C-alpha cells in the first residue's frame, strides 16, 4: 500500500504533551496544536463505545445532509384544530413532557390564558382549578406533533398555525403566529388584552394571512433566512431583517386578499420585529425533523425547554428525551426587572440553534453582540466555538463577517462530551410569576447532563464493531 | 421621591444597548429604579406601572425614567446615564484571534496535515486517533494504557483508509526527516525501520548513524503489535509501505519475539526489499549485532563503536553486586539478558510513570536509586535526541562523581548521534570525566558491567 505520509513534507497535528510539539518546532516542522482538554467527567467509557460504532460517521453525514438539504417553504396558515387535530381540552406545550404540578409560572400562565381563550374557563382561577384537576385536559409536547412553539409554546385548537413544508424531503412542520413582545401568552401573560389579541389573531390575522399566502405562496424560507443572515439577523433574538423581508414578500397579496383589513394586519406585523421568529422556527423544525431516525447517528435533532427541564432528542435514539434542569439565562432585563424575576429557560425556539441559527449564527448579528459579552469578537467567538461541536457547515446559511462561511450546524452529542462545549443559546426571558410576561433576553447554556444521558443511551445501543 | 422623566424625541438606540444602560444604572446604589428605553406603548406602560409620570411620546422617542433617593444622587445618576449612552461598543478585530482547535477532527479541517501525534492520557487517546484515521491521516499514538480492543479497532479502520497507526505506546518515529516523540537526529539514508520497540529502534538507528548509514523512515508500531492478539496489523502494513518506498533499500524489523503465528505471517509477506529481523530475546541477536548485520547486508564496514573507558575500573577479583537503572525498556531487557545476573529496574515502566514524566525527561527516581547504591557496579542508559532531557550529564555527572567516590563503578550506555541536540560526544565526555565508563553500544556496556561485577 502507498502510505502518503512517507512522501510529502511532514505536517503534523499534535494533541497532548506540549513538549513533544515543541520538539517538532525545534525541527521547523509545520504543525497545528490541538487545545485539548479532558472530556466531560465520567464520559470516557461511553465516548469510546459511541465513537467505535461503525455506523456513526456515515449516519451523522446522512442525518446532517438531510437537515442541510431541507428546503422549507411557507405553504399556508391554518387552524390548529384542522391541521393538528387538536380538540377542546388538548394543549401542546414547549419542551419535553411536563405535568401541571411541575410546570413553571409562565407555562401555567400560558395554559390559563389558553383555557380562557378557548372559553373553557370564565376566570383565571377557574382555569387554574381545572388544569390542576386534570379532568378533560391533555398536555403534550409540540415536538410530538411536528410542531414548535416559542417560550411556553402553548397551542390550543383555535390558534392559527404557520404551515411549513420541506420541498426536498416532503416533511411538514407547524408553529403558532407571533403575538409581539411584552405581555403575551407565550411569556405566560393571560390578561384581557392578551386574550383579546389572540381572538383578533384567530379572527383576522390568521385568515387574512392564509388568503394572502394562497395568492403569493409558497414562500421560500431557506432563501429568506439566508438573506436575513446577511442583513444582521441571527434568527432567534434578532428577526428584524427577516420580518421586513417577509412583509415585502406578502404585503401586496395581503392588500389584494383583504383590502379592508390589510392595514391592521400589516401594521401588526410591522410592529413586531419578531414576527418572523415563528416561521423561522417551523423552518428549522422541518429541517431538523428530516434528520430524525438515522440509526447510529449522534446528531441532535431537537433542543427544547418547558421552563423546568431542558431536553434534547437525538437522531439515532427515536423520540426519547434526555433532560436536565433548565438554567436561568444570563441576560439583560426590561424596565425594573432583574434576575430574581426570571424564570428558568423555556421554549422550543432552541430549534433555531439545532438547525445552525440563533446563538450558532451570532457572528452574523453584530447589532446584538451585547448579549454575548459586548464585543463583536465575542459574537465571532460564540459562532466559531460551535464549529467544534457540529458536524457540518450550512451551505445556504452563511456569515458575511466570516468570509461567508456556512453557519455551524448539526450538533454531535459525542463532540459536546469530548470538548465540554455546550451549545450557545440566545433566548428571551420570561417572568417567573404566571401572568408577568417577558422580563428580558439573554444567553443560556443547556445542562450538560442532557448530552451525557444521550451519550450513555447511544453507548447502550447494540451494534457490531465492524461493518458487515 | 426624586424622579427624572424625559422624552428625547427622535433619539434612537437599539434595545439591547438600552437594556444594558438600564442595568448599569439600576446597579448603582443611589438609583432605586431606572427605565431607559424606546418609548413604545409597552415601555411607557412599564414606566407608568413603576409610578413615573410619563408625558405623551411616540415609539421613535427615547424614554428616560430614573428614580433616586435624593436630588444630588439623581444628578449623579443623570451624569452616569449620559456616560452610558455615549459609550460605544468597543472596537476590536472582528475576526479576533483564531481560537485553537479543540479536537484533532477540528484541527484537521483547517490545516493540511499528513500525520497526527497523539499523547493525551491513554483513556482519551482513542477519540483523537480515530479522528485522525477518519480524516485520512496516519497517526502516532505516544500514549500508553490504551485498551487492546481499541488498538485493534483503530488499526482495522486505518487499513481500510490506507493510513498507518503507529502505537499505542509508540515512543519514537522518524517520518520524512521529522523526529516524533523521543527521536534521535538521524541522517537520511537507505534503511527503513519497522519497530515494535522504541529504544530498540533508537539503539539500532543511532549505531547505524555512527557508522555513517542513515534512515528513510522509522515507523514505530507499538509494543503489542506483533502479539497474537494484534497480529502484526501495523507491522505488516508498515513493511509493505516501506517495500513500496523507493528510498528504502533495506528494512529492519525490530521487536520482542513475536507470537509464532505472527512471525510466520510477517515472514510470508512477499516483499521485494530485503528484511533484517532483530527479534530480541534469549538466543537472538542483541541490538548491536543486529545493527552490524544491517551494515554487512549493505556492504558497509562495521566500525568500532565509540566508547570512553574508565581507567579506574578494574575487573573484580570477587563477585560484586550489579544494579541496572534504566529508562528504556528494551535496553533494560537487553542489558539484563547479557549481564546474566544483577537487579535491573526499568524506570520507564508504566508503574513508575503513572502521574509523572518519563525518566528520559525526569531523572529524579533514577538519581535517588543511584544515590542508594553503596557499593558494586551500576549500569545505566542515557537516551539523547528530541524530546529527551536537554542536558542529562548536568545532573548525572555529579551523581557519578559521588558514586565513584563511594567506590561504586558506574557504566553508562549513551544512545545518541552526533546530530542530537544534546551532543553525543560532549555528554559522553562529561560522564567519563566524572568517572563513568561510557559506551554507545548498550550490549558492550552490559558486557563491561558484567566483567566489573566479576560475572
Question: Which residue in chain A is spatially nearest to B135 when comparing CA positions?
Answer: A57
Interchain contact B350–A (C-beta under 8 A): no
Contact call for residues B168 and B225 (beta carbons, < 8 A):
no
Helices (H), A258-276: 259-270
Q: Is residue B361 part of a domain?
A: yes
Q: What average pLDDT does chain A have?
A: 95
pLDDT reported for residue B355: 62
In this predicted structure, the answer to whether residue B346 has a pLDDT above a threshold of 50 is yes
Interchain contact B173–A (C-beta under 8 A): no
Q: Is residue B94 part of a domain?
A: no
Instruction: State whether B333 and B417 are in the same domain.
Output: yes
Question: Which residue in chain A is spatially nearest to B63 when comparing CA positions?
Answer: A335
pLDDT tier for residue B356 given thresholds of 50, 70 and 90: low
Where do the CATH 3.90.1700.10 domains begin and end in chain A?
56-67+292-459
Q: Which pTM does this prediction carry?
A: 0.87
Question: Which residue in chain A is spatially nearest to B106 when comparing CA positions?
Answer: A388
Question: Which residue in chain A is spatially nearest to B50 when comparing CA positions?
Answer: A336
Distance from CA of A287 to the nearest CA of B (A): 25
pLDDT reported for residue B59: 74
Instruction: State whether B158 and B248 are in the same domain.
Output: no
Please list every residue in chain A whose beta carbon sits closer than 8 Å to the beta carbon of residue B177.
10
Please list every residue in chain B whose beta carbon sits closer than 8 Å to the beta carbon of residue A52.
126, 130, 150, 153
Of the residues B169, B196, B211, which one is the last residue of a structural domain?
B169
In this predicted structure, the answer to whether residue B15 has a pLDDT above a threshold of 90 is no
Domain containing B19 — which CATH number?
3.30.70
Distance from CA of A372 to the nearest CA of B (A): 11
Instruction: State whether B165 and B34 are in the same domain.
Output: no
Interchain contact B114–A (C-beta under 8 A): yes
Instruction: State whether B407 and B444 are in the same domain.
Output: yes
Name which residue leads in pLDDT, A125 or B72: A125
Average pLDDT over residues A297-313: 98
pLDDT tier for residue B96 given thresholds of 50, 70 and 90: very low
Domain containing B195 — which CATH number?
3.40.50.261
- The ipTM, to two decimals, is 0.91
Domain containing B131 — which CATH number?
3.40.50.720
The angle formed by the CA atoms of residues A424, A430 and A436, to the nearest 5 degrees, is 170
Mutation site, B34, B63, B102, B137, interface A, largest A CB count within 10 A:
B102
> How many domains does chain B contain in total?
4
Of the residues B303, B332, B358, which one is the last residue of a structural domain?
B303
- Domain span at residue B441 reads 307-452
Instruction: State whether B287 and B331 are in the same domain.
Output: no
User: What percent of chain B lies above the pLDDT cut of 70?
Assistant: 95
Q: Is residue B174 part of a domain?
A: no
Q: Is residue B231 part of a domain?
A: yes
In this predicted structure, the answer to whether residue B95 has a pLDDT above a threshold of 60 is no
Of the residues B139, B169, B199, which one is the last residue of a structural domain?
B169
Mutation site, A15, A237, A367, A383, interface B, largest B CB count within 10 A:
A15
Mutation site, A29, A54, A335, interface B, largest B CB count within 10 A:
A335
Instruction: State whether B270 and B193 are in the same domain.
Output: yes
- Among A5, A33, A418, the residue with its CB nearest the CB of B115 is A5
C-alpha cell at B171: 515512543
Interchain contact B89–A (C-beta under 8 A): yes
Tell me the pLDDT tens digit for each residue of B195-215. Answer: 999 999 999 999 999 999 999
In this predicted structure, the answer to whether residue B1 has a pLDDT above a threshold of 80 is no
Contact call for residues A341 and A329 (beta carbons, < 8 A):
no
Where do the CATH 3.90.1710.10 domains begin and end in chain A?
72-282
Q: Which CATH architecture has domain A72-282?
A: Alpha-Beta Complex (3.90)
The span from the CA of A383 to the CA of A239, in Å, is 18
pLDDT reported for residue A468: 41
User: What percent of chain B lies above the pLDDT cut of 90?
Assistant: 67
Q: Is residue B43 part of a domain?
A: yes
Interchain contact B101–A (C-beta under 8 A): yes
Q: At what angle do helices B233-244 and B260-267 cross, to 10 degrees?
A: 20
Average pLDDT over residues A261-265: 97
Instruction: State whether B286 and B338 are in the same domain.
Output: no
Q: Is residue B93 part of a domain?
A: no
pLDDT reported for residue B14: 67
Helix (H, G, I), strand (E, B) or coil at A464: coil
Q: At what angle do helices B329-339 and B287-297 cross, to 10 degrees?
A: 100
Please list every residue in chain A whose beta carbon sits closer than 8 Å to the beta carbon of residue B45.
182
Instruction: State whether B407 and B340 are in the same domain.
Output: yes
pLDDT reported for residue B440: 98
Instruction: State whether B318 and B447 are in the same domain.
Output: yes
Residues A198-206: contacts with CB under 8 Å, at least 24 apart: A198/A113, A198/A117, A198/A159, A199/A117, A201/A159, A201/A160, A201/A177, A202/A79, A202/A158, A202/A159, A202/A160, A204/A261, A204/A264, A204/A265, A205/A160, A205/A177, A205/A265, A205/A268, A206/A77, A206/A78, A206/A79, A206/A159, A206/A160, A206/A177
Cα dist from B427 to B75, B361, B391, B403, whole Å? 76, 15, 8, 18
Give the number of other Cβ atoms within 10 Å of residue B268's Cβ.
9
Q: DSSP letter for A299, please.
A: B
CA dihedral B224, B225, B230, B233 (to 10 degrees): 170
pLDDT reported for residue A375: 84
Instruction: State whether B357 and B246 are in the same domain.
Output: no
Please list every residue in chain A whose beta carbon sits closer than 8 Å to the beta carbon of residue B42.
181-183
pLDDT tier for residue A1 given thresholds of 50, 70 and 90: low
Distance from CA of A84 to the nearest CA of B (A): 33
User: Which of A24-33, A186-195, B120-129, B356-365 has the lowest average pLDDT?
Assistant: B356-365
The span from the CA of B307 to the CA of B170, in Å, is 29
User: Which of A421-430, A433-442, B378-387, B398-407 has the lowest average pLDDT?
Assistant: A433-442
Instruction: State whether B33 and B79 are in the same domain.
Output: yes
pLDDT tier for residue B354 given thresholds of 50, 70 and 90: low
- Among A366, A367, A370, the residue with its CB nearest the CB of B20 is A370
The span from the CA of A305 to the CA of A445, in Å, is 12
Interchain contact B315–A (C-beta under 8 A): no
Instruction: State whether B23 and B67 are in the same domain.
Output: yes
Q: Cβ of A14 and B110 within 8 Å?
A: no
pLDDT tier for residue A423 given thresholds of 50, 70 and 90: very high
User: Which of A86-100, B10-24, B171-185 has the lowest average pLDDT?
Assistant: B10-24
User: Which of A328-332, A338-342, B271-275, B416-420 has the lowest average pLDDT?
Assistant: A328-332
Fold of A56-67+292-459: v583 fold (3.90.1700)
Q: What average pLDDT does chain B have?
A: 90
Amino acid at each position: 500500500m502507498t502510505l502518503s505520509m512517507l512522501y510529502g513534507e511532514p505536517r503534523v497535528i499534535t494533541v497532548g504533551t506540549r513538549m513533544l510539539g515543541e520538539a517538532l518546532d525545534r525541527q521547523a516542522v509545520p504543525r497545528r496544536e490541538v487545545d485539548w482538554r479532558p472530556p466531560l467527567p465520567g464520559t470516557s467509557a461511553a465516548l469510546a463505545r459511541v465513537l467505535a460504532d461503525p455506523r456513526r460517521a456515515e449516519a451523522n453525514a446522512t442525518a446532517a445532509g438531510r437537515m442541510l438539504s431541507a428546503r422549507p417553504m411557507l405553504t399556508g396558515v391554518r387552524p390548529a384544530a384542522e391541521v393538528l387535530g387538536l380538540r377542546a381540552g388538548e394543549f401542546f406545550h414547549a419542551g419535553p413532557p411536563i405535568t401541571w404540578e411541575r410546570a413553571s409560572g409562565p407555562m401555567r400562565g400560558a395554559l390559563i390564558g389558553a383555557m380562557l381563550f378557548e372559553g373553557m374557563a370564565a376566570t383565571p382561577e377557574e382555569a387554574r382549578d381545572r388544569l390542576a384537576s386534570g379532568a378533560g385536559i391533555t398536555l403534550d409536547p409540540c415536538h410530538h406533533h411536528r410542531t414548535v412553539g416559542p417560550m411556553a409554546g402553548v397551542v390550543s385548537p383555535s390558534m392559527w398555525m404557520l404551515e411549513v413544508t420541506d420541498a426536498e424531503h416532503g416533511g411538514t412542520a407547524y408553529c403558532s403566529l407571533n403575538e409581539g413582545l411584552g405581555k403575551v401568552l407565550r411569556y405566560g401573560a393571560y390578561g384581557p388584552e392578551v386574550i383579546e389579541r389572540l381572538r383578533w389573531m384567530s379572527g383576522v390575522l390568521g385568515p387574512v394571512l392564509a388568503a394572502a399566502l394562497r395568492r403569493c405562496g409558497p414562500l421560500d424560507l431557506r432563501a429568506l433566512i439566508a438573506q436575513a443572515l446577511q442583513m444582521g439577523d441571527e434568527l432567534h433574538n434578532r428577526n428584524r431583517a427577516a420580518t421586513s423581508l417577509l412583509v415585502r414578500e406578502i404585503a401586496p397579496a395581503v392588500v389584494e386578499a383583504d383590502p379592508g383589513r390589510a392595514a391592521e394586519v400589516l401594521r401588526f406585523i410591522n410592529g413586531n420585529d419578531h414576527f418572523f421568529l415563528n416561521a423561522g422556527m417551523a423552518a428549522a423544525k422541518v429541517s431538523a425533523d428530516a434528520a430524525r431516525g438515522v440509526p447510529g447517528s449522534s446528531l441532535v435533532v431537537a433542543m427544547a425547554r418547558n421552563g423546568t427541564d431542558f431536553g434534547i432528542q437525538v437522531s439515532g435514539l427515536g423520540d426519547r428525551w434526555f433532560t436536565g434542569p433548565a438554567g436561568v439565562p444570563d441576560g439583560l432585563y426590561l424596565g425594573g426587572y432583574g434576575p430574581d424575576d426570571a424564570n428558568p429557560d423555556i421554549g422550543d425556539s432552541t430549534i433555531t440553534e439545532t438547525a445552525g441559527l440563533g446563538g450558532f449564527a451570532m457572528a452574523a448579528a453584530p447589532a446584538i453582540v451585547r448579549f454575548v459579552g459586548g464585543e463583536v469578537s465575542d459574537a465571532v467567538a460564540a459562532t466559531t466555538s460551535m464549529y467544534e461541536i457540529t458536524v457540518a457547515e450550512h451551505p445556504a446559511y452563511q456569515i458575511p463577517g466570516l468570509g461567508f462561511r456556512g453557519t455551524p450546524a448539526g450538533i454531535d452529542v459525542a463532540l459536546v462530551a469530548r470538548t465540554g462545549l455546550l451549545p450557545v443559546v440566545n433566548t428571551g426571558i420570561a417572568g417567573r410569576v404566571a401572568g408577568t410576561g417577558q422580563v428580558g433576553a439573554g444567553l443560556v447554556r443547556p445542562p450538560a447532563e442532557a448530552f451525557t444521558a444521550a451519550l450513555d443511551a447511544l453507548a447502550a445501543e447494540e451494534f457490531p464493531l465492524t461493518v458487515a | 421621591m426624586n424622579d427624572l422623566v424625559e422624552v428625547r424625541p427622535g433619539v434612537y438606540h437599539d434595545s439591547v444597548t438600552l437594556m444594558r444602560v438600564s442595568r448599569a444604572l439600576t446597579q448603582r446604589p443611589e438609583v432605586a429604579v431606572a427605565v431607559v428605553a424606546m418609548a413604545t406603548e409597552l415601555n411607557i406602560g412599564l414606566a407608568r406601572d413603576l409610578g413615573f409620570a410619563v408625558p405623551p411620546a411616540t415609539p421613535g422617542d427615547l424614554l428616560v425614567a430614573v428614580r433616586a433617593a435624593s436630588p444630588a444622587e439623581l444628578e449623579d445618576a443623570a451624569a452616569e446615564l449620559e456616560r452610558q449612552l455615549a459609550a460605544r461598543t468597543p472596537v476590536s478585530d472582528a475576526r479576533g484571534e483564531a481560537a485553537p482547535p479543540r479536537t484533532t477532527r477540528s484541527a484537521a479541517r483547517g490545516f493540511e496535515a499528513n500525520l497526527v501525534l497523539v499523547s493525551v492520557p491513554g483513556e482519551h487517546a482513542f477519540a483523537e486517533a480515530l479522528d485522525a484515521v477518519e480524516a485520512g491521516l496516519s497517526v502516532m499514538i505516544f500514549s500508553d494504557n490504551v485498551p487492546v480492543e481499541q488498538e485493534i479497532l483503530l488499526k482495522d479502520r486505518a487499513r481500510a483508509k490506507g493510513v498507518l497507526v503507529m502505537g499505542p505506546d509508540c515512543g519514537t518515529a522518524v517520518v520524512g526527516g521529522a523526529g516524533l516523540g523521543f527521536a534521535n537526529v538521524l541522517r537520511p539514508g537507505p534503511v527503513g525501520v519497522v519497530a515494535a520497540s522504541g529504544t530498540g529502534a533508537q539503539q539500532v538507528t543511532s549505531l547505524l548513524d555512527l557508522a555513517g548509514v542513515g534512515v528513510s523512515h522509522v515507523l514505530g508500531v507499538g509494543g503489542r503489535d506483533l502479539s497474537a492478539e494484534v497480529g502484526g496489523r501495523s507491522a505488516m502494513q508498515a513493511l509493505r509501505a516501506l517495500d513500496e518506498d523507493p528510498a528504502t533499500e533495506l528494512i529492519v524489523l525490530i521487536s520482542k519475539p513475536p507470537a509464532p503465528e505472527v512471525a510466520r505471517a510477517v515472514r510470508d509477506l512477499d516483499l521485494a526489499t530485503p528484511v533484517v529481523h532483530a527479534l530480541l530475546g534469549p538466543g537472538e541477536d542483541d541490538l548491536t549485532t543486529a545493527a552490524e548485520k544491517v551494515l554487512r547486508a549493505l556492504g558497509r564496514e562495521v566500525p568500532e563503536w565509540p566508547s570512553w573507558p574508565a581507567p579506574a575500573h578494574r575487573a573484580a577479583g570477587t563477585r560484586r553486586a550489579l544494579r541496572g537503572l534504566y529508562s528504556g525498556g528494551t535496553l533494560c531487557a537487553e542489558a539484563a539478558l547479557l549481564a546474566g545476573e544483577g537487579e535491573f529496574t526499568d524506570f520507564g515502566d508504566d508503574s513508575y510513570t503513572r502521574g509523572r514524566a518519563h525518566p528520559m525527561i525526569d531523572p529524579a527516581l533514577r538519581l535517588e536509586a543511584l544515590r542508594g547504591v553503596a557499593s558494586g557496579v551500576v549500569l545505566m542508559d542515557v537516551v539523547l535526541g528530541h524530546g529527551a532531557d536537554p542536558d542529562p550529564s548536568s545532573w548525572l555527572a555529579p551523581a557519578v562523581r559521588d558514586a565513584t567516590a563511594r567506590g561504586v563503578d558506574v557504566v553508562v550506555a549513551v544512545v545518541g548521534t552526533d546530530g542530537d541536540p544534546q551532543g553525543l560526544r560532549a555528554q559522553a565526555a562529561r560522564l567519563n570525566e566524572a568517572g563513568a565508563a561510557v559506551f554507545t553500544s548498550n550490549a558492550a556496556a552490559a558486557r563491561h558491567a558484567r566483567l566489573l561485577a566479576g560475572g
